[in-house]
Amino acid sequence: MDEVVYLSLGSNLGDRDRNLREAIQALGGVGRVKAVSSFYETEPVDFVDQAWFLNCAVAIESLLSPERMMAELLRLEQTMGRERIHKKGPRTIDIDILMFGERIVDSPDLKIPHPAMQGRRFVLAPLAEIAPEAKHPVMKRTVRELLAELPGRQVVRKFQGSGNSMP
C-alpha cells in the first residue's frame, strides 16, 4: 500500500533553484510526487558560515520501505554531486525524510520522524504549506501547531525567484 512520505529538500551550492527542481523531478523514481511547497530562502542553522539555502517540502506516495527510500535518496544526493565534507556544511542537495505515514523508525542509520524537524522553521514553514494538518506521530501535534510554537529567530522567506516550485 502506498504511504504518504514528507521530505525536506535544501540546496545552497550552485544553482539552488535548479538543484531543487532537478531533485523533485528525480523523486519520481521513488514514488509519485503529490505536492511541492513554494521555495523558501533560509539562513543556515548550526554551521552558519555558509551561503543561505533554498528549501522546500515535498509529499510523495511510495511503496518503498523507509530504509529502501533512504538508500534511494542518498543515491540521488550522490548523483547530484553531494559531498559530505563538513557536517551540516554546504551542499548541492540535501533530502531528509520528515515523516513516513504514521511510522516510527529508530535505528542507528535512520530516525523517522526526523528528530529535529519540530525545531526547524526552514522545515516546518514549507511543510505547513502542503500539509498543515499532518500529525507528528510521536508528538501528536499538527505541523501547523509545531510551526506556531517556534520562536521567530530563524529567517525563512518565500523565494521570489522563478515562481512556482513545481519542476
SS3 of the chain: helix, strand, coil, percent, to 5? 30, 25, 45
Crossing angle (nearest 10°) for helices 16-26 and 66-79 = 140
The verdict on residue 77 lying in a domain is yes
Rounded to 10 degrees, what is the CA torsion of 132, 69, 61, 84?
Answer: 50
**How many domains would you assign to the chain?**
1
Among residues 82, 106, 121, 141, the one annotated as catalytic is 82
The verdict on residue 32 lying in a domain is yes
91 is catalytic: yes
Quick check: 87 pLDDT over 90?
no
The verdict on residue 163 lying in a domain is no
Looking at 36-45, 72-81, 84-93, which range is the least confident one?
Answer: 84-93
CA–CA dist 100, 6 (Å, integer): 6
CA–CA dist 53, 12 (Å, integer): 4
The verdict on residue 70 lying in a domain is yes
What is the pLDDT at residue 165?
A: 43
Among residues 21, 94, 120, 121, the one annotated as catalytic is 94
CA–CA dist 148, 54 (Å, integer): 21
Among residues 2, 17, 46, 96, the one annotated as catalytic is 96
- The domain in which residue 116 lies consists of 3-158
The verdict on residue 165 lying in a domain is no
Instruction: With cut-offs at 50, 70 and 90, classify the pLDDT of residue 143.
Output: very high
Query: Locate cell 559530505: which residue?
Result: 84
Quick check: 166 pLDDT over 60?
no
* Average pLDDT of the segment spanning 71-100: 84
The verdict on residue 57 lying in a domain is yes
Query: Locate cell 542507528: which residue?
Result: 108
What is the pLDDT at residue 82?
A: 67
- Do 117 and 145 meet the contact criterion of CB atoms below 8 Å apart? no
The verdict on residue 164 lying in a domain is no
What is the pLDDT at residue 152?
A: 76
Looking at per-residue pLDDT, the higher value among 95 and 82 belongs to: 95
Longest dimension (CA), the chain: 43
What is the pLDDT at residue 80?
A: 86
Among residues 91, 141, 144, 157, the one annotated as catalytic is 91
CA–CA dist 68, 16 (Å, integer): 26
CATH number (domain holding residue 28): 3.30.70.560
Task: Enter the pTM of the model.
Answer: 0.91
15 is catalytic: no
Is the previous residue joined to 113 through a cis bond, with omega within 30 degrees of 0?
Answer: yes
Beta-carbon contacts of residue 29 (< 8 Å; ≥ 6 apart) = 72, 76
Looking at per-residue pLDDT, the higher value among 137 and 152 belongs to: 137
68 is catalytic: no
